[in-house]
Amino acid sequence: MFLKVENLKKSYKTGDVTTTVLKGVGMNLDQGEIGIILGPSGSGKSTLLNIIGGIDRCDSGIVSVDNIEITKLNDTKLTDYRRERLGFIFQFYNLIPNLTAGENIEVASNISISPLNTDEVLNAVGMLDKKHRFPKELSGGEQQRVSIARAIVKNPKLLLCDEPTGALDFSTSREILKLLQKINKDFGSTILMITHNTAISAMANKVYKVRSGEIVESMVNKTTMPAERIEW
């Protein structure tokens, strides 16, 4: 099992109030699979993804990625894991504003062990011709494509996406999903993606529905649908 999450628990304390956000979550993905996490706002999806991505810590439980038990790593090792093995795509792109598209990608490739070629990756997301533009000179969909390029230039075995199409219109969303499917196929990256959109689950091998910090349903799709055929 490439990604394994077992009995994951997480609470946040604000003042005297403790909010339990994850109440014993379990899930798994084989290498090369696409997994989707569905669930209403506030159900704990980002918290789960952030713990898998080593951005946040759990209270108890196990996360293991590619045979590394990341829940046991110290801060330095966890930072190495994040830098070297992970691609992370955020809902609001998070590009560095005073660097061009190409430079944003080079920042990521410089910290990776076996990065892909920057131009090759820009070409894969259809942005090579805009390599020298700054983020503010790009549309939302274009910025998201650059942020995908930034995540995949690291050649990550695991690509985590927190609502990558949340800020985009339907046709741009479909292009982004096609791109993620292509990356999964061409580079063999395992992908775990959060979405609000049930229709997107057709392109996944596994679908997990989260409600109030628990997985209430998990599904395995025998066949997956190409993104261009998804109706929504």
Please name which of 116, 142, 137, 230 lies closest in space to residue 178, comparing C-alpha atoms.
230
Instruction: Kindly indicate which of the ranges 45-53, 57-65, 77-85, 171-179 contains the residues binding ligand ATP, using the contact rule CB under 6 A.
Output: 45-53
8 Å CB contact between 207 and 216: no
DSSP 8-state assignment for residue 176? H
How many DSSP H helices and E strands does the chain contain?
A: 6, 10
Length of the chain: 232
Contact between 154 and 143 (Cβ < 8 Å): no
Which two tokens mark 96?
């560095």
Of 37-45, 102-110, 135-143, 221-229: span binding ligand ATP (CB under 6 A): 37-45
- What's the min distance (Å) between Cβ of 223 and ligand ATP? 28
The one among 43, 46, 71, 181 contacting Mg ion by CB under 5 A = 46
Task: Answer with the entry of ligand ATP, Mg ion, none that 89 interacts with (C-beta below 5 to 8 A by kind).
Answer: none
Q: Select from 30-38, 39-47, 135-143, 221-229 the region that touches Mg ion (CB under 5 A).
A: 39-47
231 phi and psi angles, rounded to 5 deg: -105, 130
Contact status: 21 vs ligand ATP (CB under 6 A): yes
Binder of residue 39, out of ligand ATP, Mg ion, none (CB less than 5 to 8 A by kind): ligand ATP
Task: Output 33 or 162, the one with its CB closest to Mg ion.
Answer: 162
116 class by beta-carbon count within 10 Å (0-12 exposed, 13-18 middle, 19+ buried): middle
Q: What's the CA gap between 9 and 181, in Å, rounded?
A: 31
Give me the 126-155 binding string for Mg ion, x by CB under 5 A, dash otherwise.
Answer: ------------------------------
Is residue 39 a contact point for ligand ATP (CB under 6 A)?
Answer: yes
Candidates 2-10, 45-53, 114-122, 211-219: pick the segment binding Mg ion (CB under 5 A).
Answer: 45-53
| Binding status of residue 19 toward ligand ATP by CB under 6 A | yes
What does DSSP assign to residue 54?
T
If one asks whether residue 16 binds ligand ATP (CB under 6 A), the answer comes out as no
The tokens for 106 are 């080079």
* Given 43, 64, 147, 165, the residue binding ligand ATP (CB under 6 A): 43
Amino acid at 161: C
Binding residue for ligand ATP (CB under 6 A) from 1, 30, 42, 117?
Answer: 42
CB atoms within 10 A of CB 146: 26
Residues found near Mg ion in the complex (CB under 5 A): 46
Residues found near ligand ATP in the complex (CB under 6 A): 12, 14, 19, 21, 39, 41-47
